[in-house]
Structure formats: structure tokens, C-alpha cells
Structure 1
Amino acid sequence: MDGSVMQDTDLAVLLHQVQHRTASPEIVSSDCSASPPAVLPKRVAAAFASTDGDSDSGGDSLLRPKKLRKPTDSGGDSLLRPKKLRKPTYAARKEEIAALLEEHRLLQARLELLRQNVGIPTSYDHDTLEAAQRQQRAMEEALRLQQFALGNTQSLFSKHMNALEPNPLKTYIHLTTDAVERRNTLLSIRREKLHRCYQFVHERLHHIPETSPYHVEERYVNAKGDRIISRFERLLFPGVQDVKQVFNALLFYLTNMEISISETLGHVTVRDDIDAVETRVSNHRVVSSTSYGIELELNAVHCYEYYEKFEEMGGQEFAME
């Protein structure tokens, strides 16, 4: 009994020494995996063999220092290569927004092309129309301001013309009671009156189209208290043959105006022809009584002239009164 206990104790001591010797790096040799020495008992040798066999499964590997693994080519490159940085979120979103905007631009251009092919107004047409409308409104406003300025100028002209003395058509004459002297005086002013009349009417209607009717009339009181009527009228006579026909109709009205006044106004009108020089100059007096008992008197001198070829009108037919 004691002998077996001693043998077990000796076996444990030897096994402990073997393990201690194997774990110590100073006594480990290259032939530590060789078979145990022959002097060891069989049980120690068997224990040593089992211990050496278990080293491959992890027992001895825990006691041995780990060997450094040599870096391979791929592993070395991965260690030396810098780590790839991840793109920031704001940069990725910025690129995505730019791509979407470019896609929107292309789709918008395609839509405009399709609208143009179909005939639907495009945004460019709308922009052009709005620009034209803005320009038109600006031009209308500028034109309106110019019209106001012209109205102001016309007011100044009217004020000047109404107060103008002497009147460009006014001629001072003195007719005596002698018939011969009166006739000579009227004949002497006839040519001058017709010339002034033509000049004034020509300048007054110079820029007004000859083929369009025109009528303007001003009534005012001058500084002397006289009531003045200034009237300009252009009448068209469709269907007439020539100027001579209109001239004869005007002469007939002037020589029979008392009849026209009586028929139109219902006034009793009397005409008194003072003198008539071959129908070229007429001096007459017209008296008209209204229904209210008011008498109106008119003393007038009319000068007439008919030209088959008037030089200042390019040799055309012309007449003045």
C-alpha cells in the first residue's frame, strides 16, 4: 500500500517537473517533441506522450509564445494604403440636387419644344407678350403726356390768337356815300383780300388731309367786348362735276341768304344790295327780326373769284369767296 502511494507521488513529481521544464522558455529545445528518455518509468513516459500529443490541440499552444505572421503582399498593401474617406452627406445631397436640376432643365426644354410643335404658347412667348405689353403701356403713358403738353400748347395758341390785334384778315376801309368811289374802293382791296384769305386758309389747313372732312369753331369775346366767331370747315361734295358747280351754288346762297334765313329760323329777313361789281364784289345789308322783337343787322362785303387754272394749286381749278 505504501509502495503504491510512493510510486504515485514520484510519478506526480516527475510529471510536474516535465511540465515545468516544457513551459520554461530557457530549457525548451528543438527536440522537446521527441520521445521521452528511457530512464523514465513507463507511466511517466505515457503521461509525457499524452501531454505532447495534446499540445497540438491547444494545451501547449497556450504556453508557447505566438509567432508573428509574415505579412503577405495583399495584406501589406492594405496596411500601407490610406483608408478611403466616406463622402459627407451634404456633398452627396448637393450633387443629387444638381443632377435633379439638370434633369428638370432638360425636361422643361423638351416640354417647350413639344408645346411649340403643337402650337401651344410657350413660356418664352408669354415672357415676350408680357414684355410687349409693358412696352405698350409705357408708350401709351408717354403719348398721353405728350397729348397733355399739346393741349397746354393749344391753350396758349388760342389765348394768343383770341387776343391778337390786328386780325390777319382785317382790313381798314372807309366807304363814302358816293357810289363810284365806293365801287373803286372795293375793287382796290379785292385782290389783297383774296390773297390774304388764301394764305391764311392754306397755312391753317396745311397739315390736315384734303380728303377728310374737318370742322373747328371758336367763339370768344375780345378785349373790346366784341363777340368773335372763328370757324374752319372742310366739306366734301361727292358727285359734283367740277369746282365751278360748287362756286355757282355758293354764289346763289349768298345772293339769296335772306330767303334761307327766313325759312330756317322763321325770322323776317330783308336784304338790301348796296352795290355789286360784276358779281366779283358785293356790298349788302341784311336786317332780320326775331320772334322776340329783336332786330339783327349785318353789313358785309364779299369778294369772289374763280380760277380755271390756279398756279399756286399746280394749275388746278380753284375758287375763293
Structure 2
Amino acid sequence: MSEMTILKAEIELYAKRNEVLREREELRQRQESNQALREVLHVQRLTFASSLAMISNVLREKHTGPFDTLTYLPKDPYVRHMELLRMKRERVQRAYDFMRERQRFMDTSTEYCDQKKFQAMNGDLCSERFEVIPLPGATSVKAIVDALEYFVYNIEICISEVLGDITIRENDDPQRSSSVAQHRLVTTIGDVVQMDTNTVAFNAYIPAGPGQNEVGFSISDAVDEDEAFPYTTRVRQDVTVITMITWQTRQDGSPVIVFARWWCLRIRHSDINVPEYAVARMQNGIEYVGAAMVTAARHAGAEL
């Protein structure tokens, strides 16, 4: 074998060794890069978890809903009605702002649900839920809003039928011709304890306009003070619900009506002895009533 042949063989050998070393170095660099990326992601997850812990603590310390004003109802019927109309204008605008921001970065064409249950610092038992439910096949926002109005205006019947807990209305029946109402209800839970619920309800439909899709709202908010129907020594339940019905666009560009809802349930702490199973019925009841409301929305949207 000539010297030239030997040199060429050695050169090829060293070249192969260099290629192996280069590949090993590239692999090492990729591994280090991946490890650094994993560390960054780990830190981000820890930061996100810490932020969630802060939010959870805020929820336990104070109410974080969109309506932060006192809901007071005077005794005089005329003044009372005018106050409800004033509340409606304020509540609808705040509800729109809140729901718009709550959905800002979301794909609302797919289902989503986030629910939290916790005991507040003052002892109240709370539940908060936000959900997005597309209604494929639905064709009318207005029909769904009308169905929700009927559902809410007959809420005592719906509660009795869905939960089996007898619920009676203490105030006069609301007028279907009005977009505002009040619901002063007493529910007997499991035949062992009575519960007070006092809410104001607002219904709104905004037709499509320049730069604005049609949108509908069904809003209920807890009453803080009522001169005509003051709270008694019963268990008190505060409920705030915002339901927003609007058109959204799927990723393929097709339109779909979306049912978006946020609610907060607060069972006020008291000295009344309530069995655990009755407490569970109170906490879970809103979920069953809420599911019945979604069913009503689906049927109404598909009827046309």
C-alpha cells in the first residue's frame, strides 16, 4: 500500500471521527438547550400556579363579581320600579364589559367550563362558574333570549320541578311585558330548612347595528337590602348570574350562536344548624337549574 493511500485512509478516518464528534457536540447543545427551555417552562408554570393561588385568595377574601354596587330596593312600588329600570341600564353595560373581557382571548366556538367552590374568609360557602357553550343548529338570538326570560320569570316553578324542593314566591308575579323583575323566593330544602333568595332580574336584547352583532342578556343579581321584603332568620342565598347570547365565528369561518354564562352563588354564614346533605343540595342546586336553562336555550334556538 502506497504512502498516499495510507494518508487518504487516515484523512477519511479523522473526517469520520470529526463528524461523530460534531454530531455528539450538536446533541449535547440540543440537550442543554432543551433543558434550559424546560427550566424556563417550569418557572413559567410555577409563576402561573402562584398567580392562581393569589386569585384564589382574593376570591376567598372579597367578592370579585362585575356588580360592586349595593342593590337596594325601596318600599314604594313606583320608586321601586324606577330603581329597577336604573339598575338595568347599569347592569347591562357592566355585564357586557365583563363578559367581553372574560372571553377576549378565548376560542368561544368550543365548549369551556371553569368552576371553583370555596369557603370565604367570613364563613360564606361560595361557588363561582364561567362556561361557554356553542349552540350549533340555533338560528335566533332573540328566540333564545325570550326563552330565558320565560325561564327566569317562572324561576320558582323551575326550581320546584328540577330540584324537587318546594319554592314559593313571596312578592307579586313579575309582568311579562316588563324587562325588569324581582324574585323574592323561599325554598324548603329537603324538608328540614328554609332558604331565602332575593334577586333582581333584567332581560335585554340588542339588535345588530353598525360594527355590532346582535346580543342578548339575561341577568340576575342578589338584593342587599329590601324595605318591602327584608331578610328573615332563614338561611340566605345570594345569586348573581350573567348569561350572554351572541353570534361568534368558528375557526372555519362559519357562524355559531354561543351561550356564555358566569355565575356566583354565596350561601351566607349563619348560626342556623343545617345538615350537611342540605348544604350540599343548596350548593349543587344551581348547577341543575343552570343545566335546565341551557336545555331551554337549545330548544328555543332550534325551533325556528
Same fold (TM over 0.5): yes
Counterpart residue number, 2:55: 157
Counterpart residue number, 2:217: 320
Q: Contact 1:183/1:275 (CA < 8 Å) preserved in 2?
A: no
- Inter-partner Cα distance in structure 2 for 1:110 and 1:143: 37
**What is the CA deviation profile of residues 232-271 of structure 1, one whole-angstrom value per residue up to 9, with x for unaligned ones?**
1111111100212321232232123334333332222224
Within 5 Å, give how 1:15-30 maps onto structure 2: none
Code of the aligned partner of 1:103: A
Code of the aligned partner of 1:291: G
For residue 138 of structure 2, give the secondary structure of its aligned residue in structure 1. coil
Residue 243 to residue 123, structure 1, CA distance change in 2 (3 Å): farther
Counterpart residue number, 1:282: 181
Q: Contact 2:59/2:120 (CA < 8 Å) preserved in 1?
A: no
Code of the aligned partner of 1:293: V
Counterpart residue number, 1:240: 138
Q: Contact 1:310/1:318 (CA < 8 Å) preserved in 2?
A: no
Counterpart residue number, 1:254: 152
- Inter-partner Cα distance in structure 2 for 1:265 and 1:275: 21
Counterpart residue number, 1:204: 102
- Inter-partner Cα distance in structure 1 for 2:31 and 2:191: 60
- Out of 106, 126, 145, the residue aligned to residue 228 of structure 1 is 126
Q: Which has the higher contact order (CA 8 A, sep 6+)?
A: 2
Q: CA RMSD, aligned part only?
A: 3.4
> How many Å apart are 1:125 and its aligned residue?
6.5
Residue 124 to residue 258, structure 1, CA distance change in 2 (3 Å): farther
**Percent pairwise identity:** 27
Within 5 Å, give how 1:17-56 maps onto structure 2: none
TM-score by length of 1: 0.56
Larger radius of gyration: 1
> How many Å apart are 1:298 and its aligned residue?
1.1
> How many Å apart are 1:315 and its aligned residue?
1.7
Does residue 297 (structure 1) correspond to residue 196 (structure 2)? The answer is yes
For residue 110 of structure 2, give the secondary structure of its aligned residue in structure 1. coil
Q: Contact 2:88/2:202 (CA < 8 Å) preserved in 1?
A: yes
Residue 103 to residue 307, structure 1, CA distance change in 2 (3 Å): same
288-297 or 140-149: which moved more? 288-297
Gap regions ≥5 residues in structure 2: 219-304
Code of the aligned partner of 1:320: F
Code of the aligned partner of 1:216: D
TM-score by length of 2: 0.59
Residue 291 to residue 165, structure 1, CA distance change in 2 (3 Å): closer
Gap regions ≥5 residues in structure 1: 1-95, 114-121
Structure with the larger helix share: 1
Q: Contact 1:284/1:301 (CA < 8 Å) preserved in 2?
A: yes
